[in-house]
Amino acid sequence: MKIFRRKKNCNCEDISSDNTSKNNAKVSNSGIKILGTGCSNCIKLEENTRIALRELNIDEEIEHIKDFAEIASYGVMSTPALVRDGKVLSYGKVLSSDDIKKLLEEL
Protein backbone atom coordinates (compact mmCIF):
# COMPACT_ATOMS: atom_id res chain seq x y z
CA MET A 1 0.00 0.00 0.00
CA LYS A 2 1.38 3.36 -1.00
CA ILE A 3 0.65 6.17 1.38
CA PHE A 4 2.33 8.88 -0.67
CA ARG A 5 1.72 8.88 -4.34
CA ARG A 6 3.50 11.08 -6.74
CA LYS A 7 1.20 13.12 -8.86
CA LYS A 8 1.72 12.60 -12.55
CA ASN A 9 1.42 16.33 -13.25
CA CYS A 10 3.88 17.38 -10.56
CA ASN A 11 6.90 19.27 -11.88
CA CYS A 12 8.67 19.67 -8.55
CA GLU A 13 11.80 17.91 -9.71
CA ASP A 14 11.93 19.80 -13.00
CA ILE A 15 13.66 22.90 -11.73
CA SER A 16 13.87 25.28 -14.62
CA SER A 17 17.35 26.42 -15.54
CA ASP A 18 15.81 29.69 -16.76
CA ASN A 19 15.80 31.20 -13.26
CA THR A 20 19.34 30.05 -12.62
CA SER A 21 20.64 31.48 -15.87
CA LYS A 22 18.89 34.80 -15.19
CA ASN A 23 20.50 35.04 -11.77
CA ASN A 24 23.91 34.13 -13.13
CA ALA A 25 23.55 36.67 -15.91
CA LYS A 26 23.48 39.43 -13.28
CA VAL A 27 27.01 38.61 -12.18
CA SER A 28 29.46 40.16 -14.57
CA ASN A 29 33.03 38.95 -14.31
CA SER A 30 34.70 42.05 -15.67
CA GLY A 31 35.73 45.23 -13.93
CA ILE A 32 36.19 46.23 -10.33
CA LYS A 33 33.44 45.78 -7.80
CA ILE A 34 32.99 46.75 -4.18
CA LEU A 35 30.67 44.34 -2.38
CA GLY A 36 28.87 45.75 0.63
CA THR A 37 25.71 47.30 1.94
CA GLY A 38 26.89 50.90 1.74
CA CYS A 39 28.19 51.26 5.29
CA SER A 40 31.11 53.53 6.15
CA ASN A 41 33.62 50.69 5.68
CA CYS A 42 32.32 49.93 2.18
CA ILE A 43 32.44 53.59 1.25
CA LYS A 44 36.00 53.91 2.58
CA LEU A 45 37.11 50.84 0.57
CA GLU A 46 35.59 52.38 -2.55
CA GLU A 47 37.39 55.69 -1.91
CA ASN A 48 40.71 53.90 -1.36
CA THR A 49 40.17 51.89 -4.54
CA ARG A 50 39.55 55.06 -6.53
CA ILE A 51 42.78 56.54 -5.15
CA ALA A 52 44.74 53.38 -6.04
CA LEU A 53 43.33 53.33 -9.58
CA ARG A 54 44.16 56.99 -10.09
CA GLU A 55 47.74 56.50 -8.83
CA LEU A 56 48.21 53.47 -11.11
CA ASN A 57 46.70 55.38 -14.07
CA ILE A 58 44.03 52.72 -14.52
CA ASP A 59 40.87 54.05 -16.11
CA GLU A 60 38.31 51.55 -14.90
CA GLU A 61 34.82 52.00 -13.53
CA ILE A 62 33.96 50.80 -10.04
CA GLU A 63 30.61 49.14 -9.48
CA HIS A 64 29.20 49.02 -5.95
CA ILE A 65 27.15 45.86 -5.38
CA LYS A 66 24.65 46.14 -2.51
CA ASP A 67 22.35 43.22 -3.31
CA PHE A 68 22.81 40.43 -0.74
CA ALA A 69 22.10 37.65 -3.22
CA GLU A 70 24.65 38.97 -5.67
CA ILE A 71 27.23 39.43 -2.90
CA ALA A 72 26.65 35.84 -1.81
CA SER A 73 27.11 34.66 -5.40
CA TYR A 74 30.78 35.63 -5.05
CA GLY A 75 31.08 33.43 -1.95
CA VAL A 76 31.59 36.47 0.26
CA MET A 77 30.07 36.28 3.72
CA SER A 78 31.91 39.24 5.24
CA THR A 79 31.93 42.72 3.71
CA PRO A 80 33.37 44.98 2.46
CA ALA A 81 34.93 43.02 -0.37
CA LEU A 82 37.02 43.96 -3.37
CA VAL A 83 36.54 42.03 -6.62
CA ARG A 84 38.35 42.38 -9.93
CA ASP A 85 37.36 40.45 -13.04
CA GLY A 86 35.26 38.05 -10.97
CA LYS A 87 38.07 37.22 -8.54
CA VAL A 88 37.65 38.16 -4.87
CA LEU A 89 40.85 39.97 -3.86
CA SER A 90 39.88 40.87 -0.30
CA TYR A 91 36.94 40.66 2.05
CA GLY A 92 36.06 41.59 5.63
CA LYS A 93 38.43 44.55 5.94
CA VAL A 94 39.10 48.02 4.61
CA LEU A 95 42.31 47.99 2.60
CA SER A 96 44.51 51.05 2.30
CA SER A 97 45.13 52.47 -1.16
CA ASP A 98 48.70 51.12 -1.00
CA ASP A 99 47.41 47.60 -0.23
CA ILE A 100 44.98 47.84 -3.12
CA LYS A 101 47.74 48.98 -5.48
CA LYS A 102 49.82 45.94 -4.50
CA LEU A 103 46.89 43.60 -5.19
CA LEU A 104 46.14 45.20 -8.54
CA GLU A 105 49.79 45.11 -9.62
CA GLU A 106 49.99 41.37 -8.83
CA LEU A 107 47.23 40.60 -11.33
Catalytic residue among 32, 34, 42, 65: 42
Q: Confirm whether 39 is a catalytic residue.
A: yes
Tally Cβ neighbours within 10 Å of residue 12. 7
Catalytic residue among 28, 39, 72, 86: 39
Q: Confirm whether 12 is a catalytic residue.
A: no
92: β partners = none
Which residues carry out catalysis? 39, 42
